[in-house]
Amino acid sequence: MIEDPQITLAHGNGGRYMRELIEGIFARHLCNPALDLGLDAAPLDLGHALQPCITTDAFTVQPLEFPGGDIGSLAVNGTVNDLAVSGATPRFLTLNAIIEEGLATATLERIVQSLAAAARVASVCVVAGDTKVVPRGQGGGLYLVTTGVGLRDPACRLGLREIRAGDVVLVSGPVGDHGVAVMLARGEFDLQGAVRSDCMAVTPLTAPIAGLAGLRFMRDPTRGGLATVAHEIVAATGLDLRLWEARIPMREAVRSCCEILGYEPLYLACEGRVVAVASPEAAPRILATWRATPGGEAAAAIGVLGEGAGRVVLETELGGERVLEELEDDPLPRIC
Amino acid sequence: MIEDPQITLAHGNGGRYMRELIEGIFARHLCNPALDLGLDAAPLDLGHALQPCITTDAFTVQPLEFPGGDIGSLAVNGTVNDLAVSGATPRFLTLNAIIEEGLATATLERIVQSLAAAARVASVCVVAGDTKVVPRGQGGGLYLVTTGVGLRDPACRLGLREIRAGDVVLVSGPVGDHGVAVMLARGEFDLQGAVRSDCMAVTPLTAPIAGLAGLRFMRDPTRGGLATVAHEIVAATGLDLRLWEARIPMREAVRSCCEILGYEPLYLACEGRVVAVASPEAAPRILATWRATPGGEAAAAIGVLGEGAGRVVLETELGGERVLEELEDDPLPRIC
C-alpha cells in the first residue's frame, strides 16, 4: 500500500516515491514469476514450434470505471483480443501507466486489481511495465498502454486477403454494449439504462475455431464498431458486403438508447465480440461452436460478400437498403 | 500527408480521419516489410537459438523537441537502451501515440520522422502501433509508448545479483546532458547553454562487451540519473558504493548550470549513457572498448563496491565524503 491518498508528481520521478508506487500497487497486484522489477527487459519463454505475434493498444476511456468493466480490464482484454482474433494464444503483456497527478490512489488500486484479475482470467502474464506521472490537467486521470505477445500455429492462414466472394460474415454476440455502457456512465445524458460493457477476453471464442478450414478472417469490432470492420473488409477485397440489419444481434436497450440520441449503433465499440468471415461450409460449424460458448450464445450470420464496388450495403428491416458510409465524425470519443 | 494543420478528435475515432493519420504520417515514415497495417498482431521472426526479451517505456517529455533530440528519437533510444543494457540485441518495436487534440500536424510529422530515423540507426523495426487522440488540455501535446523485443544469448548472465564486493563501477560518458538540455529548452530559466541531449542508442557500447567474463551488470541512467542506479545497486546487494566525485565525467556547462539552479547533477537523466559494474580484471578492457567507440570517448571508472551498510558514499573533490540519498523530490519532472 502507498500512504498518500493522491498521486503526486513525485510518484513519477524515478526515486523513492515511484518505487513505493510500483511496489505498493503495481507489483503487489501483478506479481508473477516472470515479472522481475530488477530487470530492464523481461525474458520471454516462447518455445520453438510456434510463431510469436505482438500487438499494442493505448486506452484513454472516460470514465475510468463503468458498468461491466474499467480501464484496467479493458486494457487487458483489448490487447488479448487483438492476439486472439489473429489466431494466437495470448501469453505475455507489458503495461504502461500514464497517471495524472491528483488521481485518487484508491481508484488506481481498484483499477490495477481489476487489471490483474482480467489477466488471470485470460491466462496472460504481465512481464514488464513502466509508470509515468503527468501534471494535473494533462492526463485525463489515467491512460494505460498494453503490448501483448502471443503464439500462433505457423500454419494458421487468417487475413483479409483470404476472403472470397460468397463468404459469410458472422458476429459472436450483440453489438454496441460497450459503447452505450460507457456513454451512459458519463452521465451527460438524462438516460437510465441497465447496459453493461461486453468487455471480456474472446479467447474462448477464437481458440476452438482458429485452425478451422474455411475460416478466413477474424477481427474484434472495437473503435468504430461493426461498421468499421465491414469497411476494412470491403476496402481490402473490393467486394460488396451486404449486411442483414434484422439479423445483427443488438440489445433492445442499446437500440432504443441510440434512437433517442441519434447514434448509429453499428459504429459503437464492442470489447468482447468477434466478427468472423468464413466460407458458407464453415460458417454453421463456427456458429454452433460459438453458441455453445459463454459470451457467444447470441452469435449470428449477419451478411454475405459478393462481387461489387467495395460498398457496405445495409438491407434494412423494412426491406429497403442503404449504403453504410465509413465513419467520419466521432459519435463517442474516448470509448476505449 | 494529411491536410489538416491540426490534429482533431476525429483523427482518433477509428474511421477515415484516423486511417488518413496513420497512413499519411505513421505508415509513411515507419514503412518496413514487417509492418502490415491490416494485421491486429504482428508476427515476430525471432529465430530459435536466442532468448527473446521484452521491455516497455512511456515518454512524456516537455518540450517535445530539444537540442540533441525529441520525444520521437527518445522513445526509440530509451527502449532500445533498456534492451541493450540487458545484453540483448534490439530487434522489434511497437509504438503507441497518445496525441492531444490541437497538436500541430507538422510537429507530429517531424517527430515521427525523427523516430523513424532513430529506429534505422538502431536497426530496429516498428512492427505494430496504435494511435489515440485525447481532448485539448488532456495530453501535454504528445505521449509516446514503445515496447521493444530483443534477442539475447541464453548464456548471458547479467544482473544485480552477480555483483560482488571489490567490483568497479564504470560510466560510458558525461552525465546529466539530457536533463540539462531539456531543462534549458523549457526556457523557464534565464540561462543560455550549448548543452545537447546525449540521446542515442547505446547498442554500439553494450554489444561488444555483453559476453565479457567479469561484466556483472549494466543499466542506462535515465530518470533519477546516476544516483538512482547507484541506489538500485546498493539496495540489491547491501554493499556500500563509494563514488569518486572527481572522476565522474561531467561537462562544465552541466556543472555550472546545476550550481546556479541548486540541482544535484547526479540525479539528472542521461539518455545515451551506460553504467556498468565489472570485476577489477574486466574493467580496463571495458573502458578500452568504450573509449574506442563513438559516444564512449569519455568513459571512466567512477567508484568501487565494498562491504558496508547499503549506502552510496560520494568522496568529494575536496577530500571529504557525504552520503548521497535516494531521490525524493523531483528536480525535473517530465524529463523522458
Tens digit of each residue's pLDDT (9 = 90 or more) over A104-142: 888 998 999 999 999 999 999 888 888 888 888 888 899
Residue B202: per-residue pLDDT: 98
Task: Find the CB nearest B15 among A9, A219, A224.
Answer: A224
**Cα Rg, chain B, nearest whole Å:** 21
Average pLDDT, chain A: 89
**If you ran DSSP here, which 8-state letter would residue B19 be given?**
H
In chain B, pLDDT over 70 holds for what percent of residues? 93
CB contact under 8 A, A15 and B326: yes
Interface probe with B: pick from A51, A54, A126, most Cβ of B within 10 Å: A54
B207-259 per-position pLDDT tens digit: 999 999 999 999 999 988 999 999 999 999 999 999 999 999 999 999 999 99
| Amino acid present at B47 | G
Q: Which three cell numbers stand for residue B316?
A: 568529494
Q: Is A179 on the interface with B (CB under 8 A)?
A: no
Q: Is the pLDDT of residue A11 over 80?
A: no
Check whether A1 has a pLDDT greater than 70.
no
Per-residue confidence band for A13, with pLDDT thresholds at 50, 70 and 90: low
* pLDDT for residue B201: 97
CB-nearest partner of B60 from A53, A134, A232? A134
Task: Judge: A94–B53 Cβ closer than 8 Å, yes or no.
Answer: no
Facing A334 at nearest CB: one of B97, B130, B134 = B134
**How far B251 CA sits from the closest chain A CA (Å)?**
23
The minimum CA-CA distance between A220 and chain B, rounded to whole Å, is: 9
What's the pLDDT tens digit per position in A158-208? 999 899 999 999 999 999 999 999 999 988 777 766 899 999 999 999 999
What pLDDT does residue B68 have? 95
Contact A56 B135 (CB under 8 A): no
Cell of A209: 475455431
> Is residue A192 a contact partner of residue A260, using CB atoms and an 8 Å limit?
no
Contacts with A, B 286-325, CB within 8 Å: none
Q: How far away is chain B from the Cα of A274, in angstroms, using its nearest Cα?
A: 13
Distance (Å) from the alpha carbon of A253 to chain B's nearest alpha carbon: 23
**Residues B57, A88: C-beta atoms closer than 8 Å:** no
Task: State the pLDDT at residue B38.
Answer: 60
Q: Which of residues 227-286 of B touch A (CB under 8 A)?
A: 228, 232, 236, 267, 269
Mention the CATH class of domain A160-323. alpha beta
CA dihedral A154, A159, A165, A171 (to 10 degrees): 110
Partner A contacted by B86 (CB < 8 A): yes
Per-residue three-class SS string for chain A: CCCCCECCHHHHCCCHHHHHHHHHHHHHHHCCCCCCCCCCCEECCCCCCCEEEEEEEEECCCCCEECCEEHHHHHHHHHHHHHHCCCCEEEEEEEEEEEECCCEHHHHHHHHHHHHHHHHHCCCEEEEEEEEEECCCCCCCEEEEEEEEEEECCCCCCCHHHCCCCCEEEECCCCCHHHHHHHHHCCCCCCCCCCCCCCCCCHHHHCCCCCCCCEEEEECCCCCHHHHHHHHHHHHHCCEEEEEHHHCCCCHHHHHHHHHHCCCHHHCCCCCCCEEEECCCCHHHHHHHHHCCCCCCCCEEEEEEECCCCCEEEECCCCCEEECCCCCCCCCCCCC
Residues of chain A found within 8 Å of residue B96, distances taken between Cβ atoms: 56-58, 96, 145
Name the minimum distance, in Å, from the CA of B156 to any CA of chain A.
12
Q: Is A150 on the interface with B (CB under 8 A)?
A: yes
Name the pLDDT band for B81 (thresholds 50, 70, 90).
Answer: very high
Q: What is the pLDDT, as a whole number, of residue A26?
A: 75
Strand order in the sheet with A312-315: A215-219, A275-278, A168-171, A300-306, A240-244, A312-315, A321-323
User: CA-CA distances (angstroms) from residue B5 to A305, B2, B27, B104, B131?
Assistant: 38, 8, 18, 6, 18
Query: Is B217 at the interface with chain A, CB within 8 A?
Result: no
Task: Give the number of A-B residue pairs with CB atoms closer than 8 Å.
Answer: 242
From chain B residues 184-213, the ones with a CB under 8 A of any chain A CB are: none
A158 touches chain B (CB under 8 A): no
Q: From B47, which residue of chain A is nearest by alpha-carbon distance?
A: A48
Mean pLDDT, residues B12-28: 74
Q: How many residues does chain A have?
A: 336
Average of per-residue pLDDT across A72-96: 94
A42, A48, A223 ranked by CB distance to B54: nearest: A42
pLDDT of A30 over the 90 cut: no
CB-based contact A327 B58, cutoff 8 Å: no
The x, y and z cell numbers of residue A109, run together, are: 488500486
> What integer pLDDT is reported at residue B330 of this predicted model?
66
Question: Are the Cβ atoms of B329 and A10 closer than 8 angstroms?
Answer: yes
* Cα–Cα distance for residue pair B245/B304, rounded to 1 Å: 12
Residue A285 has pLDDT above 70, yes or no: yes
State the average pLDDT over residues A31-57.
74
pLDDT digits (tens, 9 = 90+) for B169-208: 999 999 999 999 999 998 877 776 689 999 999 999 999 9
Q: Does B98 touch chain A (CB under 8 A)?
A: yes
Cα distance from B87 to chain A (closest Cα, Å)?
Answer: 9
Q: Which residue has the higher pLDDT, B152 or B31?
A: B152
Q: What is the pLDDT of residue B247?
A: 97
Q: What is the mean pLDDT of chain B?
A: 89
Confidence of residue B295 (pLDDT cuts 50, 70, 90): very high
Mean pLDDT of A91-114: 90
Decide if B151 touches A, using CB distance below 8 A: no
Confidence check: pLDDT of B301 > 80:
yes
The answer to whether the CB atoms of A139 and B137 lie below 8 A apart is no
Homologous superfamily of B9-152 in CATH?
PurM-like, N-terminal domain (3.30.1330.10)
**Which residues on chain A are in Cβ contact (under 8 Å) with B139?**
138-140
Please indicate whether residue B285 or residue A127 has the higher confidence score (pLDDT).
Answer: B285
The domain ranges of chain B are 9-152, 160-323
Tell me the pLDDT band of A289, cut-offs 50, 70 and 90. very high
Taken in order B290, B291, B294, B295, the sign of the CA dihedral is positive
Per-residue HEC secondary structure of B198-253 comes to: CCCCCHHHHCCCCCCCCEEEEECCCCCHHHHHHHHHHHHHCCEEEEEHHHCCCCHH
Residue of B9, B16, B40 to mutate for A, most A C-beta atoms under 10 A: B40
Contacts of residue B92, Cβ cutoff 8 Å, sequence gap at least 6: A54, B34, B42, B44, B124, B125, B126, B127, B148, B149, B150
Q: Is the pLDDT of residue B306 over 90?
A: yes
Q: What is the pLDDT of residue B178?
A: 96
Of chain A residues 123-142, which have a CB less than 8 A from chain B?
127-135, 137-140
Q: Is the pLDDT of residue A275 over 90?
A: yes
pLDDT band (50, 70, 90) for residue A211: very high
Answer yes or no: is pLDDT of B13 > 70: no
Chain A nearest C-alpha distance from B17 (Å): 7
Statement: residue A299 has pLDDT above 80: yes
What is the C-alpha separation between A14 and B268, in angstroms, rounded? Answer: 10
| Cβ proximity of A243 and A312 under 8 Å | yes
